[in-house]
Each structure stands twice: as C-alpha cells, then as structure tokens.
Amino acid sequence: MKFVLASQNKHKLVEMQSILSAHGVEVVLESDVGLHVDVEETGETFAENAMLKARAVMEASGLPAIADDSGVCVDALNGAPGVYSARYGGPELDDVARYRLLLENMRGTRTRTAHFTSCIACVFPNGDTLEAEGICPGTIAFAPQGDGGFGYDPVFFLPELRKTYAQLTPEEKAAVSHRGKALEVFDGKLREYLKGNTAWN
C-alpha cells in the first residue's frame, strides 16, 4: 500500500519509512507522485495542521495521505515555538538559525524543560481518517551537540540518555522520539483499520 507523505522533508520521510515499511506501507514524497501541494497551516494545534495537510494531499493525489505536524514546546517560553517551530523567527531562517534564536531567547533561563510533540494524520480517499500523537519530554541544552537529525535536534536534550536527539543513531531516535511514539500509536490504529477494510490491503 502506498501513502503520500504531505511534506517535502526527506528527513521525515526516512523516519516514517523506517517504521511503517515493516508493515507493508510504502511512503513516498509528494514530488514522487508529481505533486507540490502548498498548504497554509492555519490550525491552532499540531493535530489540526496535520489533518489540513493530509486532507489536501489526499485530494490532490487520490491516494491515502499521511502528514505529521510537530514542534518543540518550551515551558519557559509559554509553549513557544510550538506550532510555529518550522517558521520560528521567520521564513528566511534555516534550522541552525532557528535553534540559535531559541537559545538566544532562553539566555539566562534556568528552567530548560521542554517537550517535542508529533501529531500524525492520515486521510483515505473514502474519507476515513486516522490520528495519533506522540510526546517526548526533555530539556533545551545550553549549546548544540551532535551532528545527526534535523531541526531542533542538536539542542533537544534527553536527560535519561544524556544525549541530544542529534547525538542518537536513527534507531535510537525512533525508539524514544515524539515521531517514533506517534508512529507506534498510528501503526496500531492502521493495523486495526486495515483488518476491517480489505480494499486497502
């Protein structure tokens, strides 16, 4: 079964594929099916934005579409960047500039607790939907560490592992990350859904 990922982010594709491929799901980017769907993320929550993206890509492709909306929520910043994580500081900033801005905005702050949230939405051509959420608690490091991952990974520190997301192997990250947890929940829901919908098998 083929799902179109409502994203151009190849890092997200790799994370989705590594988890869902074990269950016979092939995940492809919009560009792989000749699409580029620009969705305005007007939702106030990660779940709303994920559903907006999945629905738009399903309507454009005619295939089941899966979307993830995720971000880091920092307690000392009242939950910011939150749903604006990918646009924090403006569209001209890249990943490094965004996490540097986050560190700058937290300068002198002792409370470093934060969490990453991932909401996954899937929309099928028949209108059925599946949703899942995953949360990973952690802290914001005082300086970036590690070369792996993407986005805020170099500054998102997991105290129990004594590593940032960027210092984890892809397998280690999938086992503990917000997206890994959301995909685990999604996988269970998808398995149940497919049992009763043989058309998608």
Catalytic residues: 69
Neighbouring CB atoms inside 10 A of 12's CB total 22
CA–CA distance, 44 with 47 (Å, rounded to integer): 8
Give the residue ranges of DSSP H helices in the chain.
10-20, 46-61, 95-105, 170-176, 178-196
Residue 49's alpha-carbon distances to 35, 42, 68, 83, 146, in angstroms, are: 19, 7, 8, 8, 29
